[in-house]
Structure 1
Amino acid sequence: MRSFLLALRTSRRCYSAAHKAIKLAQQQDLEQDILAWESLLAPEETAARDAVRAWVDARFAPRITEAHRRGAFPRDLIPELAELGVFGASLQGYGCAGMSSVAYGLVMQELERGDSALRSLCSVQGSLVMHAIHAFGSPEQRERWLPALAQGKLIGCFALTESSAGSDPAAMAATARRDGDAYMLEGEKAWITNAPIADLAVVFAKVADEDGRVRAFVVERGPGLEVHSVEGKLSLRASPTGNILLAAARGALLPGSGGLKSALQCLTQAREGIAWGVTGAAMDCFEAALDYGAHRQVFGRPLASRQLFQERLATMAQSIVTSQLMSLHFGRLKDQGRLTPVQVSLHKRHNVAAARRVASDARAMLGANGIIDTNKVMRHLMNLESVYTYEGTDDVHALAVGRALTGISAFS
């Protein structure tokens, strides 16, 4: 969060003083925020946030530009992420941190302040893969996989989407048939985050001898599972993405899974993390614009002294704090067991759209400098184009909210 709510007090007669005030405020790393945000958080929540923020600044931020250029995640950092406790951070037991939903959300915020690829890696690992095993797995399956996933010794991916079954997962074609004490899976999955580096996949498929009922399976990397990396991405370049081919791949049924509701339950967990996370990207873009305005001289004055620049900063800050308040409210509801799927749709849709606008404005405010990858705002903007689409498009979430408001479904 840092300096995004700092008041920019300028005077027509004293621009140099305003410039110094901005610089001092940035150096102090204060939250002189209109909302008194810190007072709304518990000590353990701010501690989790600050620990991840410090790690991102020290270990990840210096490497993300090169990782983005190369299109490869710095995998040597995975053990450090595990040491931070970010894998499965909201789960209880099995070496997981057991954080509150708000603390977990703040962690996602700080990870995405580094890059959406970083938050995506951790979100898929924890909210999708580990949550599925934790919620639907047998005690033996939990003991077998969860500790290793929490320690980063295993990386997982979540294979639900297919090329012709994205927003409509019920249209999936992947199948599973029983073979002794296991199942043999056939089919293809598309756009799977973490797939190229994953040791195992949580795969959703229709079971032939259960009238096509959708169940979840853990498929470990090996015979019958083939991964092809998606090349040429302009967005989420540091996030490993792949397509999966299943050809008589042996899978272990997660016995508690049943129907698409199991997959949607996992997606609900992940979407909350996304809604928190994108605000971190917006904050990073805001700070870049604020810093640029403080140092860029235009007609003998700091750019930040200009009315239009300040108006844009105020609008960006307004979007960010609105997103934060929504996240905090829904986080508290989640901790109380009162959060509903439609609220998650509202949350994800609002915050991603807000972050996208902030990133776009920051790009424009930096002028030509905004398209250089070392200035990061274009990287965030390109990433947010993907986040706007994945785990439920903006339009699909709008229809989910619309159904709740009208009582009429537009899906059928």
Structure 2
Amino acid sequence: MTKLSKEQAEDPNFRDHYMRQDGVARAVLLQDQDGNKLQVVLPGNCLLDVQRLMQLTGRQLQAVKPAEVERFLTSKKLDGIPAIPNISGLETIIDTRLTKADAILMDTGKSPHLLKVEADALQSMLSDNAQTLDIASPIEALETTPNKDDSEKNIFQAVTNFTQLRIKRRLEDTLELPPLPETAQKIIKLRVDPNADISDLSAIVETDPSLAAQVVSWASSPYYSAPGKIRSIHDAIVRVLGFDMVLNLALGIALSKTLTIPRTGPYGSPPYWKSAVYAAATMEGLVTAMPRQSRPGFGLAYLSGLLHNFGYLIIAEIFPPHYHQLVNAWESNPHVNQQIIEKHHLGVTRAELASWLMEVWNMPEEVVVALRHQNNPAYRGEHSVYANLMCLTQTLLSQRSIGNMPAEPIDRELLAALQLDENKLIETMENIMNSAEELENIAKSLGGGE
């Protein structure tokens, strides 16, 4: 029996990261159309290919919902799904890679213990109630961060593969996405107008009653502690948010409303806006924590946070027949960054799609870069500070179970590049989490109050 140290076992970020290493086996709980549960055991450094598993078994399978998993774990007094075959009498499917290893460490489901199993011992564990199938794909092969040209090739290939359309010269014609909304077009023009003032911005926002109401609601939130009642967009700009903040807030909301967000479920409107609001607030907090001489623009950092998950909406719009398959794959692989799963299934990630569309819409290059490289802590190219802040933001939020990334430890080189330290991060995140109620209310207002 191998045992993590007390500190390692009690740190969920370390344990989650450790369980994604080579030589470690983890498990996921699935169920078929009749409700029969299935234990699937796979290497921690792989993702489960649910579609392939269904093809090989001839069964419709989906991940057991988190609430039901929690009830199962509670009834068995476990911390996680054990990777030991046939545990609790469940039918088991184990990936072939594990059977070829000399030895593996199995998650026992009881932290901090891992069970070391030699190859011969593993074979003896496999009963008539267990199958060995090739059902996992290595994560490493999908973790590359493409440059701009590679992203466009990936998008083009994914679209032609999934829609079976004839190849067209212009990718934007193939995607058939809506044009940049009129409100957003006006705001972008305003951004580059040196003579623009508060009255110009107020006039644009006020032409969209829903947008105006949300900006006023945002400014009225206890999060900003504004004295007195906010009565107009002009008031929100002058007394609370400022010109740059309102400009980017209005732009982010206008863009997000161009595509349909699923209304319910774990990937519906409420979690989308929660992730967006927390990311924007965290970006704002991290910029404030940086040395003054190194700070990037507050507004563009805030806008990058608000739009960081915009590619999710594009996937739902472009690939509707495959959306539910992706949801199933996401839920079956909670240990894997969802964008790696998208790369496996679609050949393109939400980050690539979002950055490409922002470029087509002539959005600021800083935002394009932030979205394209938001999962690459090593990126040091032009405007890297925005991408680096976005990457750190996602890590910090994932450690607090906000967003769709598995928890990861903080990249020390990334921290150094941003000239931030642990104390600054702690202070920033304490401020964010102390404002959780206010941020949740803002997110609910943006999501229609669900």
Same fold (TM over 0.5): no
Instruction: Point out the structure with max Rg over C-alpha.
Output: 2
